[in-house]
Amino acid sequence: MLRLFLLFVGFMTLGLIVWHIGPGNIYDAATHLGPVALLVMLIPSVIMYVVEAYGWKVTLGPSAKDIPFWRVLAIRTAGEVVNVTTPAAYVGGEPLKAHLLRKHHVPMEEAFTSVIIAKTTMTIAEVLFILLGIALSVWLLGGSESSGQTVPAALLSVGLLASVTAAFVFVQRQGLFIWLLEFVRKIGLKIAYLEKREEQLRSLDRAILGFYRHRRPAFCASTGLFFLGWIAEALEVYVIIYYLGGPAMALSAIAIGALSVFIKSSTFFIPGSLGAQDGGNLLLLNAFGYSDVTGITFALLRRFRELVWIGLGLLCLALVGGQQQFRKVVPTTQGLIPDPFLLPRVAPAVPGSGLDRNGIALPAMAGKNGIEQE
Q: pLDDT per residue over 331-360, tens digit each?
A: 444 443 344 444 333 334 444 444 444 444
Cα dihedral sign, 212-217-218-222: positive
In a domain, 356, yes or no: no
pLDDT of residue 3: 64
d(CA 193, CA 356) in angstroms, rounded, equals 24
In a domain, 321, yes or no: yes
In a domain, 189, yes or no: yes
Q: Average pLDDT in the 212-218 region?
A: 91
Q: Which residues contact 232 (CB under 8 A, 6 or more apart)?
A: 44, 45, 47, 48, 51
Per the structure, the complete domain to which residue 177 belongs is given by 2-334
pLDDT of residue 58: 94
d(CA 338, CA 112) in angstroms, rounded, equals 9
Q: How many structural domains is the chain composed of? A: 1
pLDDT top residue among 370 and 224: 224
d(CA 149, CA 5) in angstroms, rounded, equals 29
Alpha helices in the chain (DSSP H): 2-21, 23-31, 34-57, 69-85, 94-102, 108-141, 145-186, 192-195, 198-214, 216-243, 250-266, 276-287, 292-319, 323-334
In a domain, 345, yes or no: no
In a domain, 357, yes or no: no
369, 359, 365, 370: which is closest to 341 by C-alpha? 365
Q: Which residues contact 186 (CB under 8 A, 6 or more apart)?
A: none
Q: Average pLDDT in the 234-249 region?
A: 92
Binned at pLDDT 50, 70 and 90, residue 161 comes out as confident
pLDDT > 70: percent of the chain: 80
In a domain, 11, yes or no: yes
Q: Which range has the worst mean pLDDT, 57-66, 177-186, 211-220, 237-246?
A: 177-186
3-class secondary structure, 45: helix
What's the predicted TM-score (pTM) here?
0.80
Q: Are 262 and 122 in contact (CB under 8 A)?
A: no
Per residue in 36-92, pLDDT (tens digit) is: 999 999 999 999 999 999 999 999 988 888 899 999 999 999 998 888 877 655 667
- Check whether 323 has a pLDDT greater than 60: no
d(CA 108, CA 180) in angstroms, rounded, equals 19
Q: Are 113 and 204 in contact (CB under 8 A)?
A: yes
- Determine phi and psi for 101, rounding to 5 degrees: -65, -35
In a domain, 68, yes or no: yes
- Residue 300 buriedness (CB in 10 A; 0-12 / 13-18 / 19+): middle
- Check whether 146 has a pLDDT greater than 70: no
In a domain, 366, yes or no: no
Q: Are 172 and 212 in contact (CB under 8 A)?
A: yes
d(CA 308, CA 253) in angstroms, rounded, equals 22
Binned at pLDDT 50, 70 and 90, residue 168 comes out as confident
Q: Which residues contact 359 (CB under 8 A, 6 or more apart)?
A: 349
pLDDT of residue 154: 67
Neighbours of 240 (CB within 10 A): 26
If you average pLDDT over every residue of the chain, what do you get?
79
Neighbours of 243 (CB within 10 A): 21
